[in-house]
């Protein structure tokens, strides 16, 4: 899932770690990958990586337009009991996050294993959907080979994701074999 920032305001983070508004470090018009979605009794939240914080942060979904509405293939659905309330939070996230209510707090606190898990999924999810800022495409070679349009290195790649990374120059490129079959 990708979203585009349409609103920015200055307001501090709440004590719970959620942004009550679209704050600080968002760039108007920028596209962001959504790493998790949470719905609680206040609003619907999107967890993204912004320009300032090293950990992903929660922002109200109302601050964004949805650019690519498809849910990540890595997500599952779960519900959590809200603190001191008789209500539930709903979450869409990868299993290690959705199944452990403490995952985000541990991530924010820098727990080494939790951070490694997040970074693994972050890399996968960053390539999953098209990015409007990526303009260069890899070229199709023979069979399963792709060729980097910048350094001309070739590598075998079976990925069906929207983006690929050249193993030599680390450039992110559009995948010429990507088919947007999940769109409506």
Q: What dihedral angle (degrees, nearest 10) is formed by the CA atoms of 165, 66, 27, 95? A: -60
The more confident residue out of 142 and 77 is 77
Separation of alpha carbons 46 and 92, rounded Å: 10
Lowest mean pLDDT among 6-10, 71-75, 134-138, 170-174: 6-10
Residue 12 is predicted with a pLDDT of 35
pLDDT at 8: 62
Q: 34-92 pLDDT, tens per residue?
A: 999 999 988 999 999 987 777 899 999 999 999 999 999 999 999 988 777 778 899 99
pLDDT at 14: 42
Taking the C-alpha atoms of residue 20 and residue 30, their distance in angstroms, rounded to an integer, is 19
DSSP result, 44-87: EEEEE--SS-SS-EEEEGGGEEEEE-PPPTT-EEEEEEPTTSS-
Q: For residue 46, give the nearest of 57, 37, 54 by alpha carbon.
A: 37
Whether 184 has a pLDDT exceeding 80, the answer reads no
Cα dist. 155→131, 137, 145, 148 in Å? Answer: 22, 14, 5, 8
Query: Which of 78-92, 146-160, 167-181 comes out lowest in average pLDDT?
Result: 78-92
Structure-block tokens of residue 138: 């890899």
CA dihedral 181, 154, 31, 133 (to 10 degrees): -110
Better-predicted residue by pLDDT, 171 or 24: 171
Has residue 1 got a pLDDT over 70? yes
0.75 cut: is pTM over it? yes
Adjacent-strand bridge partners of 13: 19
180 vs 91, residue with greater confidence: 91
Q: What is the pLDDT of residue 172?
A: 97
31 or 18, which is more confident:
31
Q: Are 47 and 91 in contact (CB under 8 A)?
A: no
């Amino acid at each position: 899932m990708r979203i585009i920032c349409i609103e920015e305001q200055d307001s501090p983070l709440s004590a719970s770690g959620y942004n009550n508004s679209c704050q600080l470090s968002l760039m108007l018009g920028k596209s962001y990958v959504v790493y998790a979605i949470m719905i609680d009794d206040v609003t619907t939240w999107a967890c993204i990586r912004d320009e300032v914080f090293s950990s992903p942060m929660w922002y109200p979904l109302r601050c964004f337009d949805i650019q690519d509405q498809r849910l990540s293939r890595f997500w599952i659905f779960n519900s959590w009991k809200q603190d001191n309330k008789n209500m539930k939070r709903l979450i869409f996230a990868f299993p290690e996050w959705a199944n452990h209510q403490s995952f985000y707090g541990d991530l924010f606190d820098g727990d080494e294993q939790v951070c490694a898990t997040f970074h693994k999924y972050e890399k996968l999810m960053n390539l999953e959907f098209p990015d409007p800022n990526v303009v260069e495409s890899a070229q199709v070679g023979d069979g399963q080979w792709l060729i980097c349009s910048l350094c001309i290195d070739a590598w075998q790649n079976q990925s069906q994701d929207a983006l690929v990374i050249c193993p030599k120059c680390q450039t992110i490129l559009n995948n010429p074999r990507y088919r947007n079959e999940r769109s409506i």
